[in-house]
Amino acid sequence: MKNRAILSRMGAKVPTKRKEKKAPPVVKKEIVMVDPETEEVFATFDSLDDAIEKQGLNRPNLIGAVKNGNKYKGMLWKEA
């Protein structure tokens, strides 16, 4: 008997090949650091990761500031 026949008699499932899921493309958006009082742009960063590296920031806090429009480290953070 072949392996498939033996497996079917045992009631086992025949292993199937899994389809590989492709990750969606990552969209990098510019992040802008703005003074909250004068609305003056202090710095522009190419991406969120770039801002974190250059300013030494905490990722979850920065993401929350960008999404909610809150201050973080005394500045407003926005997507450009």
Q: pLDDT (tens digit, 9 = 90+) per residue, 57-78? A: 999 999 999 999 999 999 999 9
- 35 belongs to a structural domain: yes
Distance from C-alpha of 12 to C-alpha of 2, rounded to nearest angstrom: 14
Which domain range does residue 68 map to?
A: 27-80
Q: What is the mean pLDDT of residues 24-29?
A: 80
- 12 belongs to a structural domain: no
- 64 belongs to a structural domain: yes
Q: Name the domain count of the chain.
A: 1
pLDDT at 75: 93
- 53 belongs to a structural domain: yes
Cut 0.75: pTM above it = no
- 39 belongs to a structural domain: yes
CA 23 remoteness from chain centre: 11
- 4 belongs to a structural domain: no
